[in-house]
Amino acid sequence: MDLSTRENPQPGTDAPRTALRLAVILASNRKGRFAPVIGDWFLEHAHAHDDFAVELIDLGDADLPTGLSPDPGPAAGATLERISPRLAAADAFVVVTPEYNHSFPASLKALVDWHFTEWRAKPVGFVSYGGMSSGLRAVEQLRQVFAEMHAVTIRDTVAFHNAHTQFDERGRHRDPTGCDGAALGMLDQLAWWGHALRDAKQARPYSG
């Protein structure tokens, strides 16, 4: 889907503020994945937030090799031509990730490793899910990875333990009060960092 170009008023002024371009990355590409349920739930909250114009990057539709090469080949090259400009244009990211074997999916590591400047001086938030750990071990590792990319990770996260039991057959959370509040809190922090970093880069280009 295309990002909107709506403008929001700057608090305390009459000047419009261009919405932040938020790319939501659905990290899992496993067959039978639960990711679309979590992703749809979060996208509903992101679209409702006034600071963001939102699009989805679904790694279930991407096939990036884990071996990096100057010549990625036709299939990976076509994927990069489709995804890389969207990452570059984004002002902020939210990664929706499961936890696989105490870590995050190889599909997500491949996406990160095939890019660099696209991540720099931009905020990254996390929505994780898994068993009792809620996917938080994956998030802690991703914080280190994105730090190396010169990105800023958001302190607060949204995490679902035993996620399969928390949503009904229509994909609605059975007890949404806590997770709805967590999503709003994370999105508010993401918006603060997104505006701050975008404004800073406009005043002085990032040199990392």
Whether residue 4 lies inside any domain: the answer is: no
Whether residue 12 lies inside any domain: the answer is: no
Question: For tokens 């899910």, what's the residue?
Answer: 129
Whether residue 135 lies inside any domain: the answer is: yes
The token pair at 77 is: 């090259």
Whether residue 72 lies inside any domain: the answer is: no
Residue 11: predicted pLDDT: 47
Q: What does pLDDT average to in each consecutive run of 10 residues of the chain (208 residues)?
A: 46 66 96 94 97 97 87 90 97 97 96 97 97 94 98 97 88 88 97 98 92
**Number of domains within the chain:** 1
Return the CATH number at 191.
Answer: 3.40.50.360
Q: SS3 of 44, please?
A: helix
The strand pair at 7-9 and 152-153 is best described as unpaired
- CA pair distance 34, 84, nearest whole angstrom: 25
Q: What is the pTM of this model?
A: 0.90
Whether residue 11 lies inside any domain: the answer is: no
Whether residue 1 lies inside any domain: the answer is: no
Whether residue 180 lies inside any domain: the answer is: yes
Whether residue 115 lies inside any domain: the answer is: yes
Q: What is the secondary structure of 94-144 as a DSSP string?
A: EEEEE-BTTB--HHHHHHHHT-STTTTT-EEEEEEEESTTTTHHHHHHHHH
Residue 19: predicted pLDDT: 97
- CA pair distance 159, 106, nearest whole angstrom: 20
Domain that holds residue 145: 20-67+78-203
The answer to whether 134 touches 195, Cβ cutoff 8 Å, is: no
The token pair at 129 is: 């899910």
